[in-house]
Structure 1
Amino acid sequence: MDKYGLPCNQYQKVMTTGFAGGYDFYEKMRRMMKKQKDIRISKEVIYAKNHKIPLLVLRPDNQTEKRAGVLWIHGGGYFLGMKEMVYMSRALDLVRKFGVTVISPGYRLACIKPYPAAIQDCYQVLLYMKKHAGRLGIRDDQIFVGGESAGGGLAAALCMLARDKETVKIAYQMPLYPMLDNYDTASSKNNHGRVWNTRRNHFGWRMYLRSKAKKEVSPYAAPARQKDYSGLPPAYTFVGNGEPFFEETKAYIHNLKAAGIPAKLDIYDMDMHAFDMLKPDLEVSRIAAQKFNEEFAYAMEHYYTQIRGQVHAHV
């Protein structure tokens, strides 16, 4: 492992040949970590069966009442990334502008442990949020999940897993430009977009699913394989029309709507994956961030879970 907690050797080559700007991306993130003076940051650890799951907990300094809790899952193609990516994500605004608690887990990466390690870790964090909701300042009827890229894929998978296990009732999901489909789609096939493309997408799925990368798998592994979208939480997402995950994002929202689930999608003219994180000063990134915050404000006002677990809306 290197100083960033990332796997070395062949994986370091991926990082230094253009993925998300290589180590410059992580150096920028480390600098941002020192600027969050209005946010209270703590580190916690979940002791799982044979390993530890480190957490970053972000809360507003002046928190006085319970608010929604957001499990925010970092991206990185399932094989890269770190929990500190939350500092460059949309989730940071949620703490500042809406006073919520955000939890960012350091789940096991696929280069160390392939599927189902990542989703198992995220599920343990979800259970932890429910158990410790009071201490964390979280309303137990407003547990949200979200993430970008592979983190969006894990967020979608986590909603499916929680629904099927009937343990934690998730009120809202925000899988941004999510990595959902282990099969090629019209937009992920022969894609040469910036940051993420066909070659990297194939590599990510091979790392995560190994020999089953191009086979029929559980929807907990590749959420696009889901056949039953009923009972999933309301959703919001956005995606660029030139990036690999364009079609699978559209399909996910379409399937949710077809099952009667409130779901919204914004599409931007962009071929850069994760443009809002990597180029936040672009006009399109500012527009996407503003719309994301507007949708989150609506979710805060309207989406809760009842005792029996059905999502209801205040109208």
Structure 2
Amino acid sequence: MTQHRPPFDPELGRLLASMPLVAELNTEVLPQIRPFSSVPVEPALAGRAVDQREVGITGPDGTRLALSIFSPAGTVPPASAPCVYWIHGGGMVMGDRFSQIDIPLDWLEAFGAVVVSVEYRLAPENNGTSLVDDCYRGLLWVAEHADELGIDPDRIIVAGASAGGGLTAGVTLMARDRGAPALAAQVLICPMLDHRNNTVSSRQYAGGPGVWTREMNEFGWRSVLGDLDADAVPSYVSPALADDLSGLPATYIDAGTAEVFRDEDVAYATGIWAAGGQAELHVWAGGFHGFDALYPQARLSVAARRTRTEWLSRILVPDDPARVARDAGQGAVR
């Protein structure tokens, strides 16, 4: 049966038409693609007043993990600064801690936040819980060094895109189950949540070249699951398997209508609501996977990024008198 697909947003469709797309992803192609997924950080920092420093920490099994720390330039962050712990995307198999870093850097500028990005190990060289364990270890380090970082331990946000969104969900489940650290919110941007890869949206985006197809998704999951038995996949690795989504922090989830992850992301938000939790869900009409990371200046991307930032402002600055006054004034003319 032919799977009909929601159309792309017209502007995004025109932009994507000029982009060379990968037809398949496998162990032979991956080494050729990886260099293009690891980007220098300097372009993202250009024009921003940001200080950067690098630290190395010991991972859960003794490996060394790199963390990049970004803070507003020329200042010592106050003890009350919020923190964004960033987990990059790349299908679990590529990317680095600077991938999509412009997204949390926007929040650094908006909220004076300290941004910490983790260099977790990649599949298929590392699999099972290795990736999410790395991310959780980095998060623990952030909480343990809150005073040194100048952050408020009650305002730590975990955020990530694509594979990083899935790892964010896994880390958040870990933090809940292990009792630490406390998290103010999680931001899941087009997250990769379900290794089963069998939703309607997954089948809709099978076959042919694309930003992220069902076949690419299958390769990514196969790489990270390794030799795990299908019946023994931990929910920390594939968060859609979690049978208890209660007790999670405030959650923001977004996706596009025209992408593989649409339905699993909607289902995850629904699971949080069913458990009595608070989740805000946005499904952007015509958005393909990673649209706002690839084309941040497109109108739909601007709207998606603005909406995320506005949601974070309600989490991080809930009682901002200036914002309350401004909103009250706007209410009179709406």
> Which category describes the TM-score, using the shorter chain as reference length?
0.7 to 0.9
Corresponding residue number in structure 2 for 1:165: 178
Deviations 1:125-159 (A, max 9, x none): 11101110011111011111010001000100111
> Which residue of 1 is the match for residue 253 of structure 2?
237
TM-score (norm 2): 0.81
Residue 69 (str. 1) matches residue 88 (str. 2): no
Distance in 1, Cα, partners of 2:295 & 2:96: 19
**Equivalent residue for 1:43?**
54
Larger RCO: 1 or 2 (CA < 8 Å, sep 6+): 2
CA shift at 1:202, angstroms?
0.2
Number of the residue aligned with 1:223:
239
Conserved 8 A contact 1:182-1:214 = no
Where does residue 30 of structure 2 map in the other structure? 11
Deviations 1:1-51 (A, max 9, x none): xxxxxxx964223x28xxxxx72x645x54514515401111111123421
**Which secondary structure state, in structure 1, belongs to the residue aligned with residue 164 of structure 2?**
helix
CA shift, 1:194, in A, is: 3.5
| Partner of residue 68, structure 2 | 56
Q: Shift of residue 188 of structure 1?
A: 1.1
Which residue identity does 1:250 align to in structure 2?
V
Counterpart for residue 191 of structure 2: 178
User: For 1:212 and 1:135, how far apart are their aligned partners in 2?
Assistant: 39
What's the RMSD between the two structures over aligned residues?
2.1
Give distance in 2, aligned partners of 1:70 and 1:170. 10
Structure number with greater Rg is 2
Pairing 1:250–2:261 present: no
Unaligned runs of 5+ in 2: 1-26, 320-334
Change (3 A) 1:63 1:182: same
Write the deviation string for residues 183-209 of structure 1: whole angstroms up to 9, x where unpaired: 121111241484111010000000000
Q: CA deviation at 1:216?
A: 5.0
1:268 aligns with 2:280: no
Matched, 1:154 2:170: no
Mark the CA change 1:26 to 1:122 in structure 2 (over 3 Å): closer, same or farther: closer
SS in 2 for 1:260: coil
Q: Tell me how far 1:120 sits from its aligned partner.
A: 0.8
Rounded to whole Å, the distance in 2 between the matches of 1:142 and 1:169 is: 9
CA shift in 2, pair 1:9/1:36, >3 Å = farther
Q: After superposing the two structures, state which structure 1 stretch, 215-224 or 177-186, moved more.
A: 215-224
Report the AA paired with residue 295 of structure 1: W
Give the secondary-structure state (helix, strand or coil) at the position aligned to 2:252.
Answer: strand
CA drift at 1:71: 0.9
User: Secondary structure, in 3 states, of the residue corresponding to 1:241?
Assistant: strand
Contact 1:70 1:100 in 2 (8 A): yes
Q: Does the aligned pair in 2 maintain the 1:216–1:225 contact within 8 Å?
A: no
Structure 1 residues 84 and 64: alpha-carbon distance in aligned structure 2, compared to 1, 3 A threshold: closer
Matched residue type, 1:244: V
Paired position in structure 2 for 1:281 = 297
Count of aligned positions: 287
Query: Structure 1 pair 33/268, CA: closer, same or farther in 2 (3 Å)?
Result: closer
SS of 2:122's equivalent? coil
1:222 shift after superposition: 0.2
CA contact (8 A) 1:32 1:87 kept: no
| Residue 99 of structure 1, CA deviation | 0.5
Mapped to 2, the partners of 1:175 and 1:191 lie a distance apart of: 21
Residue type of the partner of 1:43? Answer: E
CA contact (8 A) 1:40 1:60 kept: yes
Q: Deviations over 1:197-252 (max 9, x none)?
A: 10100000000002448545211110000000111111012110110000011011
Q: How far apart, CA to CA, are the structure 2 residues paired with 1:246 and 1:124? A: 29
For residues 98 and 34 of structure 1, do their structure 2 counterparts lie closer, same or farther at Cα, with a shift above 3 Å needed?
closer
Unaligned runs of 5+ in 1: 1-7, 17-21, 304-315
SS in 2 for 1:240: strand
